[in-house]
């Protein structure tokens, strides 16, 4: 017994020294250098990918939280806890913008589409099944598929509300008109697909916590293959009307590995119709 | 509203562009010699394609048995159509004028042209160019059809009871994204993407991507249904053949509300030359039609400078709210 104890103490001492290092490694995994297989001369990013972070509830550190109607749904609509995916932890809001973010959160579950001029004024767009925009589409709890061939276009198809976006490679033209999924132009930097996203509709949100942007929203995404099964995702976000400086998020994307896995439909419009349009029906007139 | 104006300007621009003389690509002999291939060896279907045409799905009764028009007849047809669409149509009073709001200004200019082979119908089989007669439907399907027709009638009369009285396209659930693909008045664009082992079709309306695994992957289980069904493809020579099953049973998902349990659709995509893709589909359902039927629609490659725009249907579906508020207001005024 005595010997065992001594041995345990000794091995603990040996373990203590590298502990600091291994903890750092645990929080930011570093992969051995990896070169992705090529398709038509470029890294092949084809596949079904998914984030495992819980940033869709809140980009920042967040505790587990009840849903909007715990009295009806119990734990069903409750959200998981999660750690911030933001470099430095916080979003650098301008003071006025921080106020608006808090209002957004308070009003996240409210909807009123009866007034055309303020149709998008209330409620999280996700609640209403609107296309989520970028980068939110990337960290929603749904997979997405990258379709890359030999044309100057890469398609990203998201399961949530079957949203799609076309990445135009080495494209000059600026966004022709605002769109919910924005205007994406890509280029390769070594093994990294860099996508510049402008022209997003100003009404989209970044998460359920009410984080938002304006019509000056500019996102630069970086998709870097880290192994056959991982892409490292990074996005730099700027919007001088809302934030004091550009800020950055990052997290890994995981390849979906199930046999015969495929993107399924999450056409959520039918789930929102009673909420959005129910009150305009004839009382007692449901068919 | 801004979106609509932009769209209208876009359509107008394409109308003007269409009047410019076309390069000679069409005049050259369509030969198989230069059929484009992807780096991994499949026929290359990538690009933005448009299926607009004025050729009707079914042969109009006026042309009798005639299946192909002469050059002269085709010219006459095109002129008549253009005149009809652009003539002054303010002759019916305010209400009729509102109902004619979707005039040629909204329409894809390519829609003025009939197919290059001057057919009188998109249906090529049966030979009469018409959808075959329906079989006798069981009472519950007759009842469902009658209910749907009544809902449509309420909607057309401006008196929808609830959002459920509206069709799936008006509710922005599916539009031209579910097969078979038929030409419509606008946004007839389809972008095809390919990667090794899949072909993906992204229609302009509504922003969904139909991902078609090409190879031996089996269909989803029969208890998993989707609005766009579940598609599997294989190459038959240079033709992509796509079989789609697993459609949802909701009203209006399948053409003419066929029975999803027995409905089969087979589509064939064949690139004929640099600018043309032949799209052919065969549908069969012994529970709905007396025989299978087939239509062929040429898809034309469009200039990459013309691009697909995002069709955010649900996000800005102001109309659905207006329809319902309008109906409630008519009820209050005592209209029926």
Q: Does A267 touch chain B (CB under 8 A)?
A: yes
How far off is chain B from A129, nearest CA to CA, in Å?
Answer: 8
Contact between A155 and B193 using a beta-carbon 8 Å cutoff: yes
Closest residue on chain A to B168 (Cα): A270
Sign of the CA dihedral B256, B104, A199, A232? positive
pLDDT in the model for residue B256: 84
Three-state secondary structure along A245-283? CCEEEEEEEEECCCCCCCCCCECCHHHHHHHHHHHHCCC
Q: Which residues fall within 8 angstroms of residue A6, CB to CB, at 6 or more apart? A: none
Contact between B220 and A262 using a beta-carbon 8 Å cutoff: yes
How far off is chain B from A271, nearest CA to CA, in Å?
Answer: 11
- Tell me the C-alpha distance between A143 and A130, whole Å: 17
Nearest residue, CB atoms, A264 vs list B198, B226, B308: B226
Q: Which residues pair with A185 in a beta bridge?
A: A168, A196
Q: Which residue has the higher pLDDT, B61 or A126?
A: A126
A283-287, B4-8, B188-192: the lowest-pLDDT one: B4-8
Question: What is the separation, in whole angstroms, between the first and last Cα of chain A?
Answer: 78
pLDDT in the model for residue B28: 41
Q: Where are the domains of chain B?
A: 36-65+121-332
pLDDT class for A2, splitting at 50, 70, 90?
Answer: low
pLDDT class for B62, splitting at 50, 70, 90?
Answer: confident
> A160-181 pLDDT, tens per residue?
999 999 999 999 999 999 999 9
Q: Does A166 touch chain B (CB under 8 A)?
A: yes
In a domain? residue A268? no
How far off is chain A from B323, nearest CA to CA, in Å?
Answer: 9
pLDDT in the model for residue B314: 97
Task: Name residues 172-211 of chain B within 8 A of A (Cβ).
Answer: 172-174, 191, 193-196, 198, 200, 202, 206-209, 211
> Contact A145/A50 with Cβ under 8 angstroms?
no
pLDDT in the model for residue B35: 83
**Percent helix, strand and coil across chain A, each to the nearest 5:** 20, 30, 50
> A249-262 pLDDT, tens per residue?
999 999 999 999 99
pLDDT in the model for residue B24: 38
Contact between B163 and A164 using a beta-carbon 8 Å cutoff: no
pTM, to two decimals: 0.88
Contact between A130 and B315 using a beta-carbon 8 Å cutoff: yes
pLDDT in the model for residue B104: 67
Q: Is the pLDDT of residue A6 over 60?
A: no
Nearest residue, CB atoms, A149 vs list B46, B163, B211: B46
Closest residue on chain A to B162 (Cα): A281
In a domain? residue A201? yes
Q: Which residue has the higher pLDDT, B157 or B9?
A: B157
Q: Does A73 touch chain B (CB under 8 A)?
A: no
Give B-chain residues touching A260 at CB under 8 angstroms.
Answer: 217-218
pLDDT class for B80, splitting at 50, 70, 90?
Answer: confident
pLDDT in the model for residue B77: 80
> A187-236 pLDDT, tens per residue?
999 999 999 999 999 999 999 999 999 999 999 999 999 999 999 999 99
Domain hosting residue A190, numbered range:
176-259
Candidates A121, A124, A131, A155, partner chain B, best to mutate (most B CBs within 10 A): A155
How far off is chain B from A254, nearest CA to CA, in Å?
Answer: 19
The DSSP output letter for B303 is -
Q: Is the pLDDT of residue B81 over 80?
A: no
pLDDT in the model for residue B11: 32
ipTM of the prediction: 0.88
Closest CA to A218 of A178, A255, A259, A188: A178
Nearest residue, CB atoms, B164 vs list A162, A265, A287: A287
In what helix (H) or strand (E) does residue B6 lie, and over which residues does it extend?
Answer: helix B2-19
**Average pLDDT of the segment spanning B20-32:** 41
Q: What is the dihedral of CA A118, A135, A159, A109, to 10 degrees?
A: -40
pLDDT in the model for residue A10: 46
Contact between A180 and B310 using a beta-carbon 8 Å cutoff: yes
Closest residue on chain B to A275 (Cα): B163
Tokens encoding A107: 């009003």
In a domain? residue A233? yes
Contact between B220 and A285 using a beta-carbon 8 Å cutoff: no
In what helix (H) or strand (E) does residue B270 lie, and over which residues does it extend?
Answer: strand B264-273
> B295-326 pLDDT, tens per residue?
999 999 998 777 889 999 999 999 999 999 99
pLDDT in the model for residue B14: 33
Q: Does B325 touch chain A (CB under 8 A)?
A: yes
Task: Name residues 184-213 of chain A within 8 A of B (Cβ).
Answer: 201
Nearest residue, CB atoms, B195 vs list A46, A119, A177: A46
> A113-157 pLDDT, tens per residue?
998 998 999 999 999 999 999 999 999 999 999 999 999 999 999
In a domain? residue A94? no
Give B-chain residues touching A152 at CB under 8 angstroms.
Answer: 304
B58-67, B200-209, B260-269: the lowest-pLDDT one: B58-67
Closest residue on chain B to A282 (Cα): B161
> A27-76 pLDDT, tens per residue?
555 678 899 999 999 999 999 999 999 999 999 999 999 999 999 999 99
pLDDT in the model for residue B304: 73
Give A-chain residues touching B325 at CB under 8 angstroms.
Answer: 114, 280
pLDDT in the model for residue A229: 97
> B186-217 pLDDT, tens per residue?
889 999 999 999 999 999 999 999 999 999 89
Contact between B196 and A39 using a beta-carbon 8 Å cutoff: yes
pLDDT class for B95, splitting at 50, 70, 90?
Answer: low
pLDDT in the model for residue B186: 86
Tokens encoding A71: 């009295």
pLDDT in the model for residue A21: 41
- Tell me the C-alpha distance between B47 and B49, whole Å: 6
pLDDT in the model for residue B103: 66
Contact between B218 and A260 using a beta-carbon 8 Å cutoff: yes
Q: Which residue has the higher pLDDT, B296 or A26?
A: B296
pLDDT in the model for residue A25: 44
Closest residue on chain B to A179 (Cα): B310
Residue A97, Cβ neighbours under 10 Å: how many? 20
In a domain? residue A64? no
Give A-chain residues touching B304 at CB under 8 angstroms.
Answer: 152
Count up the domains in chain A and report the number: 1
pLDDT in the model for residue B6: 33
**Average pLDDT of the segment spanning A262-273:** 97
Q: Among all chains, which residue has been given the structure tokens 């929603």?
A: A140
In a domain? residue A226? yes
Give A-chain residues touching B271 at CB under 8 angstroms.
Answer: none
In a domain? residue A214? yes
Does the N-terminal peptide bond of residue A135 adopt cis geometry, omega within 30 degrees of 0?
yes
Candidates A37, A116, A126, A150, partner chain B, best to mutate (most B CBs within 10 A): A150
In a domain? residue A238? yes
| Three-state SS at B71 | helix
Tokens encoding B300: 């034309």
């Amino acid at each position: 017994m005595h010997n065992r104890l001594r041995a345990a103490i000794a091995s603990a001492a040996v373990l203590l020294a590298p502990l600091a290092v291994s903890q750092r490694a645990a929080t930011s995994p570093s992969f051995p250098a990896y070169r992705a297989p090529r398709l038509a001369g470029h890294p092949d990013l084809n596949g079904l990918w998914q984030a495992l972070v819980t940033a869709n509830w809140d980009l920042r550190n967040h505790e587990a939280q009840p849903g909007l109607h715990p009295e009806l749904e119990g734990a069903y609509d409750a959200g998981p806890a999660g750690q911030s995916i933001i470099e430095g932890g916080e979003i650098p809001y301008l003071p006025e913008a921080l106020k608006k973010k808090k209002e957004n959160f308070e009003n996240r579950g409210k909807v009123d589409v009866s007034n055309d001029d303020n149709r998008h004024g209330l409620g999280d767009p996700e609640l209403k099944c609107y296309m989520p925009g970028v980068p939110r589409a990337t960290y929603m709890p749904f997979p997405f598929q990258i379709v890359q061939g030999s044309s100057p276009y890469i398609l990203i198809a998201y399961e949530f509300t079957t949203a799609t976006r076309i990445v135009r490679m080495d494209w000059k033209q600026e966004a022709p008109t605002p769109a919910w999924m924005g205007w994406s132009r890509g280029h390769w930097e070594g093994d990294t697909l860099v996508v510049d996203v402008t022209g997003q509709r100003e009404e989209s949100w970044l998460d359920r916590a009410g984080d938002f942007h304006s019509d000056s929203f500019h996102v630069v995404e970086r998709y870097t293959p880290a192994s056959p099964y991982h892409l490292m995702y990074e996005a730099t976000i700027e919007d001088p009307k809302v934030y004091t400086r550009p800020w950055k998020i990052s997290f890994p994307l995981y390849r979906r590995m199930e046999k015969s896995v495929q993107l399924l439909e999450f056409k959520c419009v039918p789930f929102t119709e009673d909420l959005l349009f129910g009150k305009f029906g004839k009382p007692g007139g449901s068919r | 509203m801004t979106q609509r104006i932009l769209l209208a300007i876009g359509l107008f621009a394409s109308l003007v562009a269409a009047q410019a003389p076309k390069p000679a690509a069409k005049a050259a002999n369509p030969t198989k010699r230069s059929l484009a291939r992807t780096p991994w060896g499949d026929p290359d279907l990538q690009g933005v394609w448009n299926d607009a045409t004025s050729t009707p799905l079914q042969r109009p009764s006026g042309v009798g048995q005639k299946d192909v028009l002469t050059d002269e007849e085709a010219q006459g047809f095109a002129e008549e159509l253009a005149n009809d669409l652009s003539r002054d149509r303010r002759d019916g009073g305010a209400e009729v004028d509102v109902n004619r709001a979707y005039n040629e200004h909204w329409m894809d200019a390519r829609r003025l042209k009939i197919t290059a082979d001057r057919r009188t119908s998109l249906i090529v089989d049966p030979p009469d160019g018409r959808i075959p007669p329906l079989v006798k439907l069981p009472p519950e399907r007759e009842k469902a059809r009658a209910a749907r027709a009544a809902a449509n009638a309420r909607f057309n009369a401006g008196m929808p009871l609830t959002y459920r009285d509206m069709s799936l396209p008006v509710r922005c659930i599916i539009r031209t994204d579910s097969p078979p693909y038929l030409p419509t008045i606008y946004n007839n664009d389809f972008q095809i993407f390919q990667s090794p082992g899949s072909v993906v079709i992204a229609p302009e309306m509504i922003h969904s991507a139909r991902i078609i695994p090409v190879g031996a992957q089996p269909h989803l289980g029969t208890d998993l249904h989707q609005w766009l069904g579940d598609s599997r493809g294989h190459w038959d020579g240079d033709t992509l053949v796509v079989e789609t099953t697993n459609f949802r049973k909701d009203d209006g998902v399948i053409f003419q509300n066929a029975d999803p349990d027995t409905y089969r659709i087979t589509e064939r995509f064949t690139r004929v030359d640099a600018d043309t893709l032949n799209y052919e589909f065969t549908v069969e359902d012994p529970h709905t039609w007396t025989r299978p039927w087939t239509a062929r629609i040429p898809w034309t490659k469009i200039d990459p400078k013309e691009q697909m725009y995002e069709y955010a249907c649900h996000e800005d579906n102001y109309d659905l709210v207006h329809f319902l508020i309008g109906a409630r207001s008519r009820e209050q005024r005592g209209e029926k």
